[in-house]
Chain A
Amino acid sequence: MSSRPTFSEEIANLLHAAHGNPIRLCMQCGTCAGTCPSAPFMDHTPRRLIAMINANMKDEVLASNTYWYCASCFHCTVRCPCDIDIAGLMYALKRYSMWKGQHQPELIGPVFSETFVKTVFRSGRSYEPILATTYLFSFGLQDFITEAQAATTMMLKGRLPLLPPRIKRLKNFRRMIGRVIPVGGLE
């Protein structure tokens, strides 16, 4: 007989394939929270989020913005005295929440990641102006104007591409991607 895994077991399984120690070893020292440059903007610090996962507070964890505020700086990961890959945990939560379609709807992170992946899938390379469209609808007018001004200056300085770049063997590239993700998964 199998039983349904708890949320904390699910997250542990997500991290299982990665290196580093399981989050149940966390001793709640708070080094991650003190190190994280994004912590002041998070609903819960990384330390608190780990405690919440270990307490199976699934809805609260998924509803938090914490993991989408992780900038992948890995400062917590290299400092954790229990050798837990905390930044890796944030990645796992991002994937989990996108897979379940459960994240704060106003977050830009998930849309940005998806747009990025689709752009690269289409051309093999990333293209900044397309990425810009993700925040076009998400920010206010003032922000957009400031952004457009900066973009125009960069364009004039020859630092923004006019046309999307693409790799030469794009057909092979896309067939290669097709072998690791289900066909139609990204289209």
Chain B
Amino acid sequence: MKRYAYFPGCSLEKMALSYHKSAIESARKLDVEFEELEDWNCCGATAYFHIDELLAYTLSARNLAMAEKTDLDMVAPCAACYKNSYFTNEALKKDPDLAEHINFALEEDNLHFTGKLSVKHLIEVFAHDVGPEEIKARTVRPLEGLKVAAYYGCQILRPRKDHENVEQPHFFEDLMAAIGAEPVDYPEKLLCCSGSLIITSRRAALSMIRNLLNGAVHSGAAVIATACPMCQVNLECYQKQVNQEFGTDFNVPVLYFTQLLGLALGITPRRLRIGSELVLPTPALSRVRRKPATT
């Protein structure tokens, strides 16, 4: 049994509830347990860094200090929460003066940051810690014939954390292949979904989303898989606006990788909250060739 301290983040409370539920369900099937931080706060997204760095570090440090109390490593399913938690952890470990200043603030909530844990993105838990071989072995309903565009987006990979491959990663495709799906060659897989520009610079954002949808359709994908609530919402919930703006006719379902993983592990679509999308994935998923699992 692998255990992690789990920091869901604001989006997963409601907007991306399907990501939260499917992550928990899929993890349970793979003997992974997530212990939710007891009183987590917002990671600050990008906005806090627009206003004040110290403030932004303080927000993430509070979550890290809470996670440290559990003696487990921290996992975040949202790319922005992950990036902020990861880099705050690194910045505070490298700069004792900064850590001291922030610990002074954390005293108000009886917390203390020491820098003893490591921060992971949810997809790392499945793609690395559990691993494709194990997932393949546990797959009871392989998603055969389902063409998936594995969309990485930005902040899972960038800024660079260590020595990872930021130009040609393939762990997401490997994970999709492990559950029997067919990852397509998706050249736009590392491009930005436009993030909060969807609110602040609408025209630019819709054009970026159009580019991503266009690439997915051209690569033959029946579904786009994401690992970030912001990417999911931008790619899915704004398809109508993209179509209005550019006279296009996109109707591509966008699912969380945990939902596809869950299906392959034999969890019912209902428990994975498939059906809460604006672009229904049912037609794409119904084409999956049903066949008994081979062992």
Interface pair A124/B41, CB less than 8 Å apart: yes
Question: Per-residue CB proximity of A168-179 to B under 8 Å, as 1/0?
Answer: 110011011111
Cα-based distance from A109 to B208 in the complex (angstroms): 17
- Closest Cβ of chain A to B287, distance in Å, is 23
> What's the interface size class on A, roughly?
35 or more
Kindly identify, within residues 30 to 73 of chain A, every residue whose CB is under 8 Å from any CB belonging to chain B: 37-38, 40-41, 68-69, 71-73
Q: Are B201 and A176 touching (Cβ within 8 A)?
A: no
Cα distance A109–B48 when bound, in Å? 12
**Interface of chain A, main secondary structure:** helix
- What is the bound-complex CA distance between A120 and B50, given in angstroms? 14
Shortest beta-carbon distance, A134 to chain B, in Å?
7
Judge whether B15 and A159 touch: CB under 8 Å: yes
Do A167 and B54 have beta carbons less than 8 Å apart?
A: no
Q: Are B159 and A78 in contact (CB under 8 A)?
A: yes
Indicate whether B45 reaches chain A with its CB closer than 8 angstroms: yes
Is residue A102 contacting chain B, with contact meaning CB distance below 8 A?
A: no
Q: Count of B residues near A, CB < 8 Å?
A: 67
Assuming the A-B contacts A113-B47, A146-B244, are A37 and B192 also in contact, with contact meaning beta carbons closer than 8 angstroms in the complex? yes
- The stretch from B104-112, B139-147, B249-257, B264-272 touching chain A is B104-112
Q: A38-B204, A177-B58 are in contact. Are A98 and B15 (CB under 8 A)?
A: no
Contact status B108-A120, CB under 8 Å: no
Complex: how many Å from CA A167 to CA B110?
15
Say yes or no: A179 contacts B197, CB within 8 Å: no
Chain B 217-233 against A: per-residue CB contact (8 Å), 1 yes, 0 no?
00000000000000000
Q: List, in ascending order, chain B residues with CB within 8 A of A117's CB.
A: 44, 47-48, 51, 55
A114 to B53, CA, bound (A): 14
CB neighbours (8 Å) of A113 from chain B are 46-47, 50-51
From B49, B154, B207, B211, give the contact of A74 (CB < 8 A). Answer: B154
Q: Enumerate the 5 nearest inter-chain pairs by beta-carbon distance, A residue then B residue, closest first.
A: A73-B192, A116-B47, A74-B158, A172-B109, A179-B105
Spell out A's residues near B (CB within 8 Å): 17, 37-38, 40-41, 68-69, 71-75, 77-78, 85, 87, 91, 94-95, 98, 107-110, 112-114, 116-117, 120, 124-128, 131, 134-135, 139, 143, 146, 149-150, 153-154, 157-161, 165, 167-169, 172-173, 175-181
Subset of 29 A-B contacts with CB under 8 Å: A37-B191, A38-B208, A68-B200, A68-B201, A69-B201, A71-B205, A72-B154, A74-B155, A74-B158, A75-B192, A78-B160, A91-B50, A95-B53, A113-B47, A117-B47, A120-B42, A124-B42, A128-B15, A135-B199, A154-B15, A154-B237, A157-B276, A160-B14, A167-B39, A167-B41, A168-B39, A175-B108, A176-B108, A178-B108
